[in-house]
Amino acid sequence: MPNDPLFPDSLPRFARQMSVGEGHVLYVEECAAMDGLPVLFLHGGPGSGCTPMQRRLFDPERFHAVLFDQRGCGRSRPLGSIEANTTAHLVADLEYLRDALGIPGWILFGGSWGSLLALAYAQIFPERVLGLVLRGVFLGSRQEIDAYVQGRSGAAPEAWKVFAKQIPPGEQGNLLAAYARRILHDDPEIALPAARAWLDYERALMGEPPLALLPNPTQMAKARVQMHYLTHDCFLAPGQLLAGVERLRHIPAAIVQGLADPVCPPHVAESLHRAWPEATWVPVPDAGHGGLSPPVARACINALGWVGESVVG
């Protein structure tokens, strides 16, 4: 398709399962040019896992791309596990993978939840980060989470009404807690319908149709991991990521933001850019949240290109 900015379909050069401790085994793949500039791709969610389409964001002649499914997600095991699964654990996993793969330093490329994880890692290990591409910024604040769950952003109001009506009126003041109680319940007859309603609300915001069936195990794992992280404020202190920008000012960075993003609204990315004016601001007019939509994907590929040039040049 002429409007498709993505690179051709490809298979991983290497794919493996790697044990990172506490019973977690991560699915990890290395793609594109094994002798190229290393880039770590951080998927969204939390809980989503990676997809083959995301390999197509990387120039196969230029980048050594590492993609992996975070704890409890996708092809990692145990699927849906929230034990020993916090932001600190995930940051430690990234550093373990970097060392185990023999990569001295890498560019971090993360969207949505992946942007949060990229910032958290970079602020602890800035010496290992060559550059950053952040798309659809999420900082994990209580305000962001509440606006999303309680429908305060005003996006997809009809879908939000359907989402809220799944919960009795007395619990609608804290829909996150109400959904977490159900989704994390041991009884599948309680957990599965709640997870379906939760995932359908997100799908409506993304412009996707509702699920045709109850969630499959991978979708259920995504909902479980999301509940775990969101109910714990993403295991971050208030304002932690904005305060930590001081450690990143010297690193080439791009903030790519769809200006019609209903999931991670532009004002969040704008607050990051105000704190970090050295980062290049890349607004994408009329674009939503999807990282593989043509306008957002094109902006991310271009940003990754010039961040890479800044690293090697």
Residues forming the active site: 112, 261, 289
Q: At what angle do helices 188-205 and 157-165 cross, to 10 degrees?
A: 170
Q: Are 128 and 98 in contact (CB under 8 A)?
A: yes
Q: Which amino acid is at 80?
A: G
Tokens at 23, concatenated: 């019973």
CA separation for the pair 130, 107 (Å, rounded):
5
Helix ranges (H only) for 65-109 are: 87-100
207 φψ region: left (φ > 0), alpha (ψ -120 to 50), beta (else) = left
Question: Which two three-digit tokens encode residue 308?
Answer: 């890479």
* Total number of residues shown for the chain: 313
Q: Is the dihedral of CA 275, 176, 217, 197 positive or negative?
A: negative
